[in-house]
Amino acid sequence: MNFQLSPSDLLAPSKAVRSDVLLVLLRDGYEVLPERMAGLPGTIARAMQCGHWSPAAGKRLSLYLPDDAFASRVILLGIGQGKQQDIREALSKAVKELVSEDVRLAVYFAQDATIDQVRTAMLAVGGAGYVYSNTKPSAKGGLKKVVIGAPNANDCRTGFEEGRALLAGMGLAREWANRPANHATPTLLGKVAEEIARSGNEGHGDARFKCELLDEAKVRKLGMGAFLAVAKGSSEPLRFIVLQYHGADRKQAPLAFVGKGITFDSGGISIKPGAGMDEMKFDMSGAASVLGLFEALRHLRPAINVVGLIPACENMPSGEATKPGDVITSMSGQTIEVLNTDAEGRLILCDALTYAERFKPLAVVDIATLTGNCVMALGNLRSGLFSQHDELARAIEQAADESADLCWRMPMDDAYGKGLKSNFADMANIAGRTAGAISAAKFLERYTSAYPWAHLDIAGTAWDEGAAKGATGRPVPLLVRLVLNLAKTPVQFALPAPEGGKATARDTGKTGKPAARKPAAAKGKGAAAGKRG
Ligand code: BES
Ligand code: MN
Ligand code: ZN
């Protein structure tokens, strides 16, 4: 989708931005000066005077004007007081009705717009204008060219640039999450990452982007026994993707993002029921959001260092697959009894979380379609946020609110992790029947003692079901906002309290317990921990 920004005057449309359809966004209080009653402004004034139309949010009026205007078809669209939610809803609905027609669209604010309003309008238009066609050549439409206009367009350029970067990132995340598992293999995801890094460096002399792809042999050498235990049931080769972006001094600690990249989750030997199993092609949405973040970074190039880690593989049953009861050794040295092979996300993530230590990160955020239980708890409105680090959690909540990509902080009391006890390993990979989203987070927590950490469970928010089945591109807006906020105002997150040490007031969770604890195995058994050095 190609976006263009244009300063507009509804009285003097420029031939250069002529489109098929012009959507005119009007806020409450729109007034037309008597000396400007010609053309479109006069038509708008008459429609309001006759009481046929008002700029109430979502209210529409279709007009057909002589061909000297911006477009032969004009739609007045009310946005009420201009609140972001009103703009989003009004535009999404209007654009969804237009996309099938393959139109050139122009969207003009009749009054001065804010940076936030321009960004919001672009996300709504671009989001609604996306049509999946990779494996459906018959799919029609999709917006190709969109002109965004406002009288004060030149003051809104940052909103426009951010909108464009976000749309590129969300578009990439949606596209790859939507592609079926046989068209979005770990190998292909690796190629996408390479391509992002390559094009991110193109035309720039500073080589800010770097991509490394680890294959099975390298993953084995690293001792990622948990990741391997999931991947080995499938004949599709695994990939461990390492993306790096250096926008600041290379000595500065990076923010690290870890995305769950299960390209298909059949459940493995603990196989899932057939109904709806196709949706488990979306189980790499966390990975897609990390790729989407890097795609946005390619456009925005902020002054911060970022690492993206993606363990990618399929979870399949076979003669080679991990069996319930098998005990595996993670890269951290901690052993895991796999009581349910369908709790595979935490197994690939735990090794990626251990791998993240080598970057000495400022903080690590993992993003995963981790539990059906999180969908039960929060539905498709808010992603689940799990962290014992108050300052990091607040930064994420703020980014979520600012980007309207909402999340909700869940409790992390240590008692929720009790059920992970195993008689045959340091921990089991599942706990009891209740609070499954939290016990999953408690499992991951045992691999994160080296840095401030947060976990986003996006099982409910990454895709829509039913007739509108498809990836949403979430939580790319949240992640991009978080990175931009931290680039603008650098924060030194306090480290988790050392083992046995007293936590500072700041990193004490609501329970009054230390923010994170050293995992049991890291205390004495540390064979593999020692190996890692
Ligand atoms: N990928 C699923 C989680 C999921 C399920 C996301 C449904 C979205 C919709 C995950 O790997 C899984 O299977 N989790 C199990 C965990 C259980 C075995 C402890 C679940 O949620 O049922
Ligand atoms: Mn599963
Ligand atoms: Zn899964």
- The mean pLDDT value for 186-206 works out to 98
- The mean pLDDT value for 193-214 works out to 98
Q: Is 237 exposed, middle or buried (0-12, 13-18, 19+ CB in 10 A)?
A: middle
Q: How far is the CA of 343 from the centre of ligand 1 (A)?
A: 6
Q: How far is the CA of 403 from the centre of ligand 1 (A)?
A: 27
What element of type H or E holds 287?
Answer: helix 285-300
Q: Is the pLDDT of residue 517 over 70?
A: no
Whether the upstream peptide bond of residue 475 has omega within 30° of 0, thus cis, is yes
- Which residue CA neighbors atom 7 of ligand 1 most closely? 372
How confident is the model at residue 144, as a pLDDT? 83
Q: Is 38 exposed, middle or buried (0-12, 13-18, 19+ CB in 10 A)?
A: exposed
Q: Please check whether residue 287 is in contact with residue 232, taking contact to mean a CB–CB distance below 8 angstroms.
A: no
- pLDDT band with cut points at 50, 70 and 90 for residue 499: low
Ligand 2 ion: nearby residues, β-carbon < 5 Å: 265, 342, 344
The domain ranges of the chain are 2-156, 208-506
Q: Please check whether residue 100 is in contact with residue 143, taking contact to mean a CB–CB distance below 8 angstroms.
A: no
**Contacts of 27-32 spanning 24+ positions with Cβ under 8 A:** 27/55, 27/79, 27/80, 27/81, 27/82, 27/110, 27/111, 28/55, 28/56, 28/80, 28/81, 28/82, 29/111, 30/55, 30/110, 30/111
Q: Is the pLDDT of residue 15 over 80?
A: no
CA distances from 460 to 35, 62, 349, 407, 435 (A): 53, 37, 19, 11, 15
How confident is the model at residue 508, as a pLDDT? 37
> Atom of ligand 1 at shortest distance to CA of 262?
1
- Mean pLDDT, the chain, whole residue set: 92
**In this predicted model, what pLDDT tens digit does every residue of 347-370 receive, in sequence order?**
999 999 999 999 999 999 999 999
How confident is the model at residue 502, as a pLDDT? 46
How confident is the model at residue 518, as a pLDDT? 41
Q: Distance of alpha carbon 285 from its chain centroid, rounded?
A: 8
Q: Count other Cβ atoms within 10 Å, centred on residue 91.
A: 26
Residue 341 near ligand 1, beta carbon < 6 Å: no
How confident is the model at residue 52, as a pLDDT? 86
Architecture of domain 2-156: 3-Layer(aba) Sandwich (3.40)
Q: Is the pLDDT of residue 77 over 50?
A: yes
**In this predicted model, what pLDDT tens digit does every residue of 215-228 receive, in sequence order?**
999 999 999 999 99
Q: Please check whether residue 42 is in contact with residue 34, taking contact to mean a CB–CB distance below 8 angstroms.
A: no
Ramachandran category for residue 39: left, alpha or beta (phi over 0 → left; psi -120 to 50 → alpha):
left
Q: Give the pTM.
A: 0.93
**In this predicted model, what pLDDT tens digit does every residue of 386-407 receive, in sequence order?**
999 999 999 999 999 999 999 9
How confident is the model at residue 141, as a pLDDT? 79
Which one has a higher pLDDT value, 6 or 440? 440
Q: Please check whether residue 143 is in contact with residue 19, taking contact to mean a CB–CB distance below 8 angstroms.
A: no
- The mean pLDDT value for 176-186 works out to 98
- Residue listed under structure tokens 């076979």: 318
How confident is the model at residue 185, as a pLDDT? 99
Q: Please check whether residue 290 is in contact with residue 483, taking contact to mean a CB–CB distance below 8 angstroms.
A: no
| Stretch among 22-26, 135-139, 516-520 having the lowest mean pLDDT | 516-520
Q: What percent of the chain lies above the pLDDT cut of 90? A: 83
- pLDDT band with cut points at 50, 70 and 90 for residue 290: very high
Q: CA 245, CA 240: separation in Å to the nearest integer?
A: 17
Q: Is the pLDDT of residue 339 over 60?
A: yes
Across 184-223, the runs of DSSP E, i.e. the strands, are 209-214
**In this predicted model, what pLDDT tens digit does every residue of 127-159 receive, in sequence order?**
999 999 999 999 987 888 899 999 999 999 999
Q: Please check whether residue 108 is in contact with residue 25, taking contact to mean a CB–CB distance below 8 angstroms.
A: yes
Superfamily the domain 208-506 falls into: Zn peptidases (3.40.630.10)
Residue 371 near ligand 1, beta carbon < 6 Å: yes
How confident is the model at residue 69, as a pLDDT? 65
Which one has a higher pLDDT value, 495 or 235? 235
- pLDDT band with cut points at 50, 70 and 90 for residue 68: low
Residue 460 in 3-state DSSP?
coil
Q: Count other Cβ atoms within 10 Å, centred on residue 307.
A: 24
- The mean pLDDT value for 504-509 works out to 38
Residue 147 CB partners (closer than 8 Å, separation 6+): 3, 4, 5, 6, 17, 19, 105, 106, 107, 108
Minimal CA–CA distance to 189: which of 240, 252, 131?
Answer: 240
Catalytic residues: 272, 346
Q: Is the pLDDT of residue 519 over 80?
A: no
Residue 230 near ligand 1, beta carbon < 6 Å: no
Three-state SS letters, 294-325: HHHHHHHCCCCEEEEEEEEEEECCCCCCCCCC
> What are the b/e assignments for 455-489, b being 16+ CB within 10 Å?
bbbbbbbbbeeeeeebbbbbbbbbbbbbbbbbbee
**In this predicted model, what pLDDT tens digit does every residue of 249-272 receive, in sequence order?**
999 999 999 999 999 999 999 999
What element of type H or E holds 259?
Answer: strand 255-259
Give the pair of three-digit tokens for residue 287.
């990975």
DSSP label of 100: G
- pLDDT band with cut points at 50, 70 and 90 for residue 67: low
Residue 369 near ligand 1, beta carbon < 6 Å: yes
Minimal CA–CA distance to 129: which of 25, 284, 21?
Answer: 21
Residue 344 near ligand 1, beta carbon < 6 Å: yes
Judge if 2-156 and 208-506 fold alike in CATH terms: no
Three-state SS letters, 224-258: CHHHHHHHCCCCCCCEEEEEEEECCCCCCCCEEEE
Give the pair of three-digit tokens for residue 115.
């940076």
Q: Please check whether residue 531 is in contact with residue 522, taking contact to mean a CB–CB distance below 8 angstroms.
A: no
> Atom of ligand 1 at shortest distance to CA of 272?
13
Q: CA 186, CA 508: separation in Å to the nearest integer?
A: 39
Residue 343 near ligand 1, beta carbon < 6 Å: yes
Give the pair of three-digit tokens for residue 5.
């920004």
Q: How far is the CA of 371 from the centre of ligand 1 (A)?
A: 4
Pocket test for ligand 1, best of 284, 285, 341, 342 (most atoms within 8 A of CB): 342
CA distances from 506 to 390, 453, 512 (A): 7, 14, 11
Q: How far is the CA of 346 from the centre of ligand 1 (A)?
A: 10
- Which residue CA neighbors atom 17 of ligand 1 most closely? 343
- pLDDT band with cut points at 50, 70 and 90 for residue 70: confident
CA distances from 156 to 443, 491, 510 (A): 45, 27, 41
Residue 55 in 3-state DSSP?
coil
